[in-house]
Amino acid sequence: MSERLPRKVLVTQRFFDAESLAYLHANGCEVELAQLADGQADGDFSEDQLQALLADADAWIVGHAWITASLLGRLPRLQAIARRGVGYERVDVAAVRASGKVATIAVGGNDASVADHAVAMMLALGRRLGDSKARMLNGDWTIALGGDLYGKTVGVIGLGRIGRGVVKRMAGFDARVLACSPKPDWSYGREAGVQFVDLDTLLAESDYVTLHAPLNDDTRLLIDASALNRMKPTAVLINTARGGLVDDRALLEALLDGAIAGAGLDVFLSETDASYRATTDALLVLPNVVATPHSGASTHEGLQRTNLIAAQCVVAVLNGETPPAPCVIADGRPISGAL
């Protein structure tokens, strides 16, 4: 009997840890780590480049590349696409099913990391940490008065795993928590001390508005000029979810006009629409904006968790098994109970 060839797994993400690599090796996988230039992400690769990288791959651990019908049609050997993350708006799930492949996300891996990041942005803006450091670097040690997170009203839009993580953290600040969700979980609300309200009420009453909704047709540009004008002039907006939830041009105008007090941004519309790049640059220089480069999930611990979940999903598919149900976003195999 001929020896079984290793299953090849291509990883197009940085920071793939030794434990997850060892797991793949232990399960008969040969792993190739794509070489990324400084500042480059897999979303920057053309379809031709991706085809060349994936031509002999059985599975792909991916970050932000677009998974299209055209690309999948050029990769007959590929069986599994595992996102090291939880958003999948760049994955054509119908095309995955039609191609007979499986696509997964790393559910539960980065929830805590992103929730921490959102709270860190609230604290940084409330206590004016970035502004204070900039003043000190210019020789101005005048105290810039900030505000407490303690006792404030925090509005959470989207109560998935990350949103609930933020709610849990707010208990330590004795915060009043409002939430807006398309399907309110009233029993959870009672247990967690969350008051479900409509979007208008949340915007009008919150001192901090933090976004944790998925990006879809219902939520795209949810926070537009009208929404921003319904917020308190002392309020702060936090977006660690998806850039498409906020109209960044309207946000810039609101910040310049004093319609709101500040913004914490880990995601930007310019990530998917280059025409917003000048808007992003203008936001970054404002003293009342705290910004990070879509790094809310990128802690050592968070990436180790998501790496391993993605690796486990890949091995399950290559073994002809089904990954954990919450991780599966598309399963096109003929006898799999496909979604």
Catalytic residues: 242, 271, 294
Measure the CA–CA gap between 301 and 109, rounded to whole angstroms. 9
The residue to which tokens 């900039």 are assigned: 134
- Of 332, 338, 333, 330, give the one whose Cα is nearest residue 90: 330
With contact defined as beta carbons under 8 Å apart, do 60 and 82 qualify? Answer: yes
Measure the CA–CA gap between 88 and 330, rounded to whole angstroms. 11
Radius of gyration (C-alpha) of the chain in whole angstroms? 22
Neighbours of 10 (CB within 10 A): 22
With contact defined as beta carbons under 8 Å apart, do 316 and 28 qualify? Answer: no
Q: Which residues pair with 238 in a beta bridge?
A: 210, 264
Q: Which residues pair with 239 in a beta bridge?
A: 211, 265
- Of 276, 262, 268, 226, give the one whose Cα is nearest residue 245: 268
Look up residue 193 and give its amino acid: G
Q: At what angle do helices 111-126 and 129-137 cross, to 10 degrees?
A: 60
With contact defined as beta carbons under 8 Å apart, do 265 and 242 qualify? Answer: no
